[in-house]
Amino acid sequence: MTLIKSISGIRGTIGGVPGENLTPLDAVKFAAAYGTWLQKEHPKTKSLSVVLGRDARISGEMIQNLVSNTLVGMGINIIDLGLSTTPTVEMAVPNEEAQGGIILTASHNPKQWNALKLLNQKGEFLNAEQGAEILRTAEKEDFNFAEVDYLGKVMTNSAYIDFHIEKVLAHPLVNVNKVKKAKFKVVFDGVNSTGGISIPPLLEALGIEVVKLYCEPNGIFPHNPEPLAKHLTELSKEVQKHQADLGITVDPDVDRLAFMDENGKMFGEEYTLVAVADYVLSKEKGNTVSNLSSSRALRDVTEKHGGTYYASAVGEVNVVAKMKKVKAVIGGEGNGGIIDPKLHYGRDSLIGVALFLSHLAEKNMNVSALRATYPSYFMAKEKIELTPQINVDSILEEMAKQYANEDVSTIDGVKIDFPENWVHLRKSNTEPIIRVYTEAKSQDEANELAKNIITQIKNLIKK
């Protein structure tokens, strides 16, 4: 059982010992730390408000009640969206003129996990400095709760998914008429979370015939909820069985998006952003951003349209900061996260779906043919389990030294750019592992590069 405290929030497994797992005591402590931070950030605001939403995982209602009542006990009002999506909560925060937001979700982690994802008043994730301050406050338990006459209130609002869909349909680059005329048939896997109550209504509003797979938001994930090919064998079979134009799936909080072609083959999680960027850049010239672990294909597509590609450190907050700095027109992460600043600065599968389908409809080709128009790169995503005794920073420094003659970036772990391929090594913020990502012109080459790098690291660990 695990509790991971990081600048991006607190994440852990339900049950067990406080301080080692995500127990009710831990949920209360970190909610109180966040509430304390909000009070310091907004000292002149008499009545603070926080938007609260959750994915459908089994522990969600329990954690939501704990977090909500803790903030109420601090005199903070709650706008309770109930079952929602991460991007929906992000959009609700500024629309409600709230001072912050919390999404209760462990993203792609299995059902025993949950987490508090923390937002600022713009509906964007907190930066490293703010996250570190909340961790310090939680450690000290330096809280001040409200007296009885000054408790917060809870207001429920179940209309925000509809609001989100309306904003997507009104987006200037979403070609509703063209998509409707295409008469697509889609199989959608909602992994029994809030994708099931957000993506099908959007698809239906776009005139699409939807075959629903696991769209009951009961939190009983029918398979590992990370949207990877090995977890989506049933979606693949259903796409072929129903002779659908494509398959679509998301993770439990709907900020990661993956497509499947008409043959039941993955479009490629890395290529979700590539295809959407290709469409956006065909309409509007500009720059793009993804993180260091994302495919070179985005760079290629960006340069094809006359724009400049930029890489950020891994993490949505870092991608967003870079996008703002370089005025990117589209960006995101290679795990299927689409960030369109015209809608909001957050990974959003709803706008990703609508833009991808607009692209497909305008191209008037099937999904496999669209995929064939992009440069082919292949990735290996491996990891090395860590123990507390391992000095990860020194290992990464040593790897950077060994490859000093190559193009090396150390803004986030170590990325080594070779002429024909690359490897990115970084310490995970959410799990006790080193992530080893590689990309090359063939899968065998990517796998071999990862294997060789992992062997080198293990040899360093043994020393």
What is the sign, positive or negative, of the torsion defined by CA atoms of 228, 438, 277, 183?
negative
Topology of domain 378-462, CATH: TATA-Binding Protein (3.30.310)
pLDDT at 390: 82
Q: Decide if pLDDT at 373 tops 90.
A: yes
DSSP H or E stretch at residue 49: strand 49-54
Would you give the distance in Å from CA 58 to the centre of its chain?
Answer: 20
> Considering only 104-113, 425-434, 447-456, which range has the smallest mean pLDDT?
425-434
The tokens describing 145, both together, are 């709760």
CA separation for the pair 162, 159 (Å, rounded): 6
Q: Is the pTM of this model over 0.75?
A: yes
pLDDT at residue 15 tops 70 = yes
State how far the Cα of 375 lies from the Cα of 82, in Å rounded to an integer: 42
Say if CB 275 and CB 282 are below 8 A apart.
no
Q: What is the pLDDT of residue 392?
A: 85
Q: Is the pLDDT score of 233 beyond 90?
A: yes
pLDDT of residue 6: 74
Q: Kind of pairing, strands 113-119 and 100-104? A: antiparallel
Q: How far is CA 311 from the centre of its chain?
A: 17
Q: What is the pLDDT of residue 260?
A: 98
Question: What proportion of the chain, given as a percentage, has pLDDT over 90?
Answer: 90
- In this model, does residue 1 exceed pLDDT 60? no
Is the pLDDT score of 155 beyond 90?
yes
So what's the pLDDT on residue 386? 81
**What is the average per-residue pLDDT within 268-272?**
92
| pLDDT over 70 percentage in the chain | 98
pLDDT at 393 over 90: no
Question: Tell me, what's the pLDDT at 430?
Answer: 61
* Residue 46, pLDDT above cutoff 80: yes
Q: What is the pLDDT of residue 59?
A: 98
Name the token pair of 367: 């999904």
The reported pLDDT for the residue numbered 255 is 96
Location of each CATH 3.30.310.50 domain in the chain: 378-462
Does residue 193 register a pLDDT over 80? yes
What's the whole-number average pLDDT of the chain? Answer: 95
Q: Are strands 337-339 and 328-333 parallel, antiparallel or unpaired?
A: antiparallel
The CATH T-level fold of domain 179-372 is Alpha-D-Glucose-1,6-Bisphosphate; Chain A, domain 3 (3.40.120)
pLDDT for position 335 = 87
DSSP 246: E
Residue ranges of the chain assigned to CATH 3.40.120.10: 3-160, 179-372
Q: Which pLDDT value is given to residue 461?
A: 85
The CATH label, of 3.90.1150.10, 3.40.50.150, 3.40.50.720, 3.40.120.10, for the domain at 3-160 is: 3.40.120.10
pLDDT confidence bin for 432, thresholds 50/70/90: confident
Taking a C-beta distance cutoff of 8 angstroms, is the pair 328, 322 a contact?
A: yes
Task: Give 329-356 pLDDT, tens digit per residue.
Answer: 999 998 899 999 999 999 999 999 999 9
As a whole number of angstroms, the distance between CA 276 and CA 341 comes to 13
**Residue 79 DSSP SS3:** strand
pLDDT at residue 389 in the model: 77
Distance CA 124, CA 235 (A): 32
